Amino acid sequence: MDKYKVTHRLLRQSIKSLVNRQLTSNNPIYRFISAFPLGNGGRNPQLYRSFGSLATKVERNPSFSSLNSDDLSYFKGVLGEKNVVQDEDRLETANIDWMHKYKGFSKLLLLPRNTEEVSKILEYCNSRRLAVVPQGGNTGLVGGSVPVFDEVIINVGSMNKIIAFDKVSGILVCEAGCILENLISYLDNQGFVMPLDLGAKGSCQIGGNVSTNAGGLRFVRYGSLHGNVLGLEAVLANGDVLDMLGTLRKDNTGYDLKHLFIGSEGSLGIVTKVSILTPPKLSSVNIAFLACEDYLSCQKLLSEAKRKLGEILSAFEFLDSHAMDLVLNHLEGVRNPLSSAVHNFYLLIETTGSDESYDKEKLEAFLLHSMESGLISDGVLAQDINQASSFWRIQALMRAGPVYKYDLSLPVEKMYNLVEEMRARLGQSANVVGYGHLGDGNLHLNVSAPRYDDTILAQIEPYVYEWTSKHRGSISAEHGLGLMKANEIFYSKSHGTVQLMASIKKLLDPNGILNPYKVLPRSLLSYS
């Protein structure tokens, strides 16, 4: 029996033995996918080298004031003693991002409990020219949610109430500090689905998700927050509360200003409430883990999947053999679920639909057809993958030493060329791995090296940004610009557009107190 037939038989067996159980967020395979897309590092910061603060490259805006005792008295009067935090340990946590790459020197963390308090704080800070950093779960990857210097940290985590849920329309209204995972659970109990899911869900907050326009796992199915967020409440730098908290699918009455706050990383206002459209939970989830021998086949499979699986396709992720090697070499007890051979590419396809048996048959037919046409060389369905119970810990990629991480949007057909070019360019000096959300054209390019090394960095940057720009890609698909890439914005946006962004920033925040040094290039935000 030749290899094709063996594999074919294996796949058929896999399909036949597929169990009908639901995949919940506790299921290891589900967790594998959950953790996969963001490629977040592990939660233990000691494992990673701190890059130290990049603040040395940035000059403190001399127009900002410094905190004094009157300020503290004012904040204590508004928030109460215990919500004005000066404790060093708590400040240490709030000053450092969870990759331990950025560290600020704030002396004050404020914990408002409602919109009115946020408004009072901001009005005061604006009048005093005290710079602030809005902070949610502090799970950002570009240094956007920690101070650069001594900015006052405003954390909205105490504002975590669900305000309303309409079961007819599936519209959820909640405060900005709600943790994403709690919203996911709440909706699950109501028979609905959060259109957003990502690796950091246990810590990240919906206000932060909205402010950073988080992408994540369900993007390929439900699209971006610009489509799903129906309304917002935001507090402007001067304390004005902007009520845009609509709960309607359709509303064409004037400019849709909420979009300014989606993805502006807290630099135009602090999001305090969110209204979001949630689709009904569908009962049937199926997962396939497949092998392809070349990138062209991955692409073709994506096209086929969009057409043949169509409305039930809910994730289409890929990783290359280098990414797989890292996982297998650095995570104990994990083995390749496709044990028969080493393959060049691996794909993870998820379907979500309303009918167990139809969906399964549809996926089976699709896989058999793909097998017969030679697009996939091996594959397993949900049941067969669960021996790799800790496989989801893709963050092993981070444990293999220092890693330069890039989150790029590129045309799907060009995407893997960059990985190959980087591999040729860097030779033996580093290990280049590629993985990401193929369905969205989102590549996570990780370059791991024995140590952080300026020679290697010079080989990567600005080459990666230039290459991305040349192919009209985005240098930040979903992570945002933050402090890390504020000055690189021109690789992805035209000068006129960035100028207009700066004008809007000045219009909404004339003193520049909101999340300074982030998002926009410092050259455009001259200090008065």
As measured in angstroms, the least distance from the Cβ of 44 to a second copy is: 27
The residue (of 254 and 333) whose beta carbon lies closer to a second copy is 254
Q: CA-CA distance, 101 to 482, in Å (whole number)?
A: 12
- The 3-class SS string of 196-222 reads CCCCCCCCCEHHHHHHCCCCCCCHHHH
The residue (of 10 and 241) whose beta carbon lies closer to a second copy is 241
Cβ–Cβ under 8 Å, residues 175 and 232: no
510 binds a second copy (CB under 8 A): no
Stretch that binds a second copy, among 25-33, 70-78, 151-159, 440-448 (CB under 8 A): 440-448
Q: CA-CA distance, 63 to 528, in Å (whole number)?
A: 7
Closest by CA position to 202, among listed 78, 40, 60, 48: 40
The residue (of 26 and 253) whose beta carbon lies closer to a second copy is 253
Binds a second copy by CB under 8 A, chosen from 9, 16, 500, 526 = 500
The residue (of 156 and 313) whose beta carbon lies closer to a second copy is 313
257 binds a second copy (CB under 8 A): yes
Assigned token pair, 184? 């996911």
Site residues (CB under 8 A) for a second copy, limited to 29-68: none
503 binds a second copy (CB under 8 A): yes
The residue (of 248 and 341) whose beta carbon lies closer to a second copy is 248
Distances (CA, A) of 508 to 121, 272, 365, 518: 16, 16, 54, 15
What is the DSSP-derived secondary structure letter of residue 76?
Answer: H
As measured in angstroms, the least distance from the Cβ of 240 to a second copy is: 6
Distances (CA, A) of 41 to 183, 224, 337, 446: 23, 24, 23, 12
> What angle in degrees, to the nearest 10, is found between the helix axes of 69-79 and 115-128?
170
Q: CA-CA distance, 22 to 479, in Å (whole number)?
A: 31
Indicate if the alpha-carbon torsion angle 78, 80, 82, 83 is positive or negative: negative
The residue (of 77 and 510) whose beta carbon lies closer to a second copy is 510
498 binds a second copy (CB under 8 A): yes
The residue (of 94 and 118) whose beta carbon lies closer to a second copy is 118
Binds a second copy by CB under 8 A, chosen from 52, 80, 227, 510 = 227
Contacts with a second copy, 408-427, as mask; x by CB under 8 A: -xxxxx--------------
Closest by CA position to 492, among listed 518, 516, 471: 471
As measured in angstroms, the least distance from the Cβ of 142 to a second copy is: 9
475 binds a second copy (CB under 8 A): yes
Site residues (CB under 8 A) for a second copy, limited to 76-135: none
Stretch that binds a second copy, among 178-186, 398-406, 423-431, 437-445 (CB under 8 A): 437-445
Size of the site for a second copy (CB under 8 A): 94
The residue (of 31 and 258) whose beta carbon lies closer to a second copy is 258
Nearest 5°: phi and psi at 385? -95, -15
Q: CA-CA distance, 249 to 244, in Å (whole number)?
A: 13
Q: CA-CA distance, 438 to 444, in Å (whole number)?
A: 10
Site residues (CB under 8 A) for a second copy, limited to 269-288: 279-280, 282
368 binds a second copy (CB under 8 A): no
Site residues (CB under 8 A) for a second copy, limited to 187-226: 191, 212-213, 215, 219, 223-224, 226
Contacts with a second copy, 157-186, as mask; x by CB under 8 A: ---------xxxxx----------------
> HSE-up of 163 (CA within 13 Å, CB side)?
18
299 binds a second copy (CB under 8 A): yes
